[in-house]
Amino acid sequence: MKPRRGYIVPVGGAEEKIGALAILRRFADLCGGSNCSIAIIPTASMQSETGGRYEKIFTDLGVRDARVIPIAHRADCEKREWLDVLDEVNGVFLTGGNQLRLSTMIGGTPVAKKLRLRNAEGMHVAGTSAGAAFLCEHMIAFGKEGASPRARNVTLAPGLGLTNRIIIDQHFRQRDRLGRLLTALAYNPFAIGIGLDEDTAGFIAPDETLEVVGSGALTIVDPSGLEFSSMARVRKNDAVCLIGLKLHILDQGSTFNLHTRVAAAAPVIAKRV
């Protein structure tokens, strides 16, 4: 019997780290709670304390074993001790920072291959901010902010490749990134665009159903009905005409099926009298 793929969990950044910790708690519970082990990969961050901070958070949430894999050079991705850790853990969490640090240090290495293999076998993988951008096959490396799509205003790079169904952008509302997500989709409108506000995550199940967790909104841009794009004929920095896109704004508990492309609002919970 073919194993079920693990969850893929992009987080928009600045997730709650004190208080309810809804997103991190949900991920810890998904991995198995007190019976699980989680590896933290802080490669995207330039701050030395980042890995230790998440290690403490997951430990305080009751995770049996949280450990940092301190990848600082491509050569680290060949170390047997870190590959053995990835073979053992129930989940992996990629921190924020600069997504190009992830793609240049981890892309094409044994660690990248191990992450894809283990996720296919059922291990859950989450990433926040830069870590979220890196999860999919096509990664937004950088781009200009603004509400409208503009030619050549976005640079894409290969990501980790856990899925090719989506393109992710993070800090979405806070940094006015609708335009750059639309530009990325206009290059090739095969994928579905996911824009994640801060403290907001999409928990993508093995059946390709995404559920929103967190205090912000998750924006879905579905280009499957695209009727016209001017991307091929406009000059650099020109506005791009896109006709036929479908847009959904989803909040806590709402869902979107990446296969059927059907969105559903969160169920209404009746208040007790």
List the catalytic residues: 129, 171, 198
- The residues pairing with 155 across neighbouring beta strands, listed in sequence order, are 142
Length of the chain: 273
d(Cα 258, Cα 246) in Å, to the nearest integer? 13
d(Cα 109, Cα 150) in Å, to the nearest integer? 34
Tokens at residue 47, please? 């701050």
- The residues pairing with 211 across neighbouring beta strands, listed in sequence order, are 203, 255
First to last CA, the chain: 48
d(Cα 186, Cα 207) in Å, to the nearest integer? 26
d(Cα 142, Cα 154) in Å, to the nearest integer? 6
**The Cα angle at residue 159 between residues 56 and 115, in degrees rounded to 5:** 55
